Amino acid sequence: MKYLATLFLAKSAIAFQTVVPHPHQRHAAVSPFFLPQNPLLLLQMTMDGGDAPSDMDDSAYDSRQDVLDVARSLKDKFGPLIIDSKAQEKLKSVVKELEKNSEPPIDTKGMIGDWTLLCSTASTNKLMGIDTSNLPFFNAGIVKDIRNTLNKSLVVQQKIKGSPSFSGRGITRVDHVIQYMPPNELSEFSSMLPDALQSLNINPLEVTNQQVVLVHKAEVESTIPFIKTKLALESIVLNIAGKSQYLEPDGADLLGVNVPFGEFLNAGSFETTYLDDELRISRSKVGVVDQLRVFIKVPSTEEVVKEIEEAVETASMEQASDAAVEQLAAMDAPSDVEEENDDKDYDNDFDKNDDDTDDNEPDDKDYDNDFDNDGDDDDSSPSDVESSD
């Protein structure tokens, strides 16, 4: 029952966190999916960090775990966009070790799906970020509170889609989704503000979710030595959801802009240097800026629900099997009762025979009396002797 209860709670959480858009509310040119309220929470709830590939050796496994641990730690401290120079070096070091200890990916099918950005770096050979330890205000006071609030409210995703037939190399579209869930009160940014300001409503339209979607046409250029994907910006879409009368609770596209000549003016590419079912690492270069990104895969709602239903079905079959065993055991119980009854009947018969024996005791007494009477006849024998004389 505990197992079933856990599955039920997980399914209920998904149902409450996932926002499903109405098909008529999407922009005609694009169809961005509306994200779960917190994809990182959903991923941790359903997968608990994910399992490493079964054929991975020990060194690659340890490197993979180091990347996940460091990326999550940096994400919690700095958010998805890391500007601290020491943090950047730390992330680059563990990623480089994983790339050295693992084989480069060649199958593009594993890239299809929704990937949440854990953290990313952007640096050049001369500019390696900012040493935030030299900025006293950066990690203390109200600035730290504001950064923590923004980190919790901001989610960046990369949605990779393929053609239905998955012909050729298959990837046809990549959407970059920047999702922001704004706080309602100023107190959510900092508790150090005066009381009069903490209750100030900074979200009068009751916006629950707003996202900017950068829609790219995509094409896989090569798979050796790494999977290289070419991108061309086609359109930009603004989608907003809210509780006020002016907004749709499930979200609606309020603005859509098509970008002309994106293939020529806004083209770029990225290489996938590591890939498994739950972790992906990509690198790109824009001018002189080197970019490194660490993604974790967010399972679709359909995949999560299907997995839960399969687990519930398995648990139900196990319960049915246990119930059948109990039923068989219950069917054997009457025979045991009959045996007990037979034993009781045997005991009753035995007792009854004893009673019959007791009833015959007076007959024995009568026999004894008759024997005694015969003894009385023997007592009269002397008189007989005398008479004979």
Pairing of strands 81-82, 113-123: parallel
Same domain, 217 and 263: yes
Assess whether 214 and 337 both reside in one domain. no
Which pLDDT belongs to residue 54? 64
Q: What's the pLDDT score for residue 24?
A: 34
> Do you find a cis peptide bond into 225, omega within 30 degrees of 0?
yes
In this structure, what token pair is assigned to residue 268?
């770029």
113 belongs to a structural domain = yes
**In a shared domain, residues 360 and 286:** no
For residue 10, tell me if it sits in a domain.
no
Question: Which tokens hold the place of 110?
Answer: 């594993």
263 and 361 assigned to the same domain: no
**Residue 186 near residue 198, CB atoms below 8 Å:** yes
98 domain residue, yes or no: yes
279 and 324 both lie in a single domain? no
| 252 and 336 share one domain | no
Residue 389 lies in a domain: no
> Which residue, 250, 269, 299, sits at the end of a domain?
299
- The verdict on 46 and 135 lying in the same domain is yes
* Counts of helices then strands in the chain (DSSP H, E): 10, 10
pLDDT for res 333 = 55
Predicted local confidence at residue 93, as pLDDT? 96
d(CA 122, CA 189): 27
- The pLDDT tens digits of the residues spanning 293-329 come to 999 998 766 767 777 888 888 887 878 777 778 877 7
Q: What is the dihedral of CA 170, 19, 248, 34, to 10 degrees?
A: -20
Q: What is the CA radius of gyration of the chain?
A: 42
The Cα–Cα gap between 101 and 64 comes to: 9
**Cβ burial 249-274 (10 Å sphere, 16+ → b, else e):** eebbbeebeebeebbeeeeebbbbbb
Is 77 within the bounds of a domain? Answer: yes
Q: What is the pLDDT of residue 146?
A: 82
Q: Are 87 and 74 in contact (CB under 8 A)?
A: yes
Q: 81 has which bridge partners? A: 120
Residue 106 lies in a domain: yes
Same domain, residue pair 353 and 209: no
Domain carrying residue 348 = 313-376
107 & 163 share domain:
yes
* CA distance readout (Å), 87 to 29, 60, 71: 40, 22, 10
Enumerate the β-bridge partners of residue 281: 274, 294
pLDDT, residue 230, reads 94
Domain count, the chain: 2
- Are the C-beta atoms of residues 277 and 53 closer than 8 Å to each other? yes
Q: Is residue 305 part of a domain?
A: no
Chain position carrying tokens 């084989």: 103
Residue ending a domain, among 257, 277, 299, is 299
**Domain closes at, from 275, 299, 323:** 299
- Estimate the crossing angle of helix 58-78 against helix 85-101, to 10 degrees: 160
Residue 381 belongs to some domain of the structure: no
Are both 92 and 214 inside the same structural domain? yes
Q: Tell me the one-letter amino acid at 319.
A: Q
The model's pLDDT over 184-216, given as tens digits with 9 standing for 90+, comes to 888 888 777 788 788 888 889 899 999 999 999
- Residues counted in the chain: 389
Other Cβ atoms less than 10 A from the Cβ of 98: the count is 23
Same-domain status, 321 and 267: no
For the chain, which ranges sit under pLDDT 70?
Answer: 1-52, 54-55, 127-128, 164-169, 300-301, 303, 332-389
Pair (200, 266) in one structural domain: yes
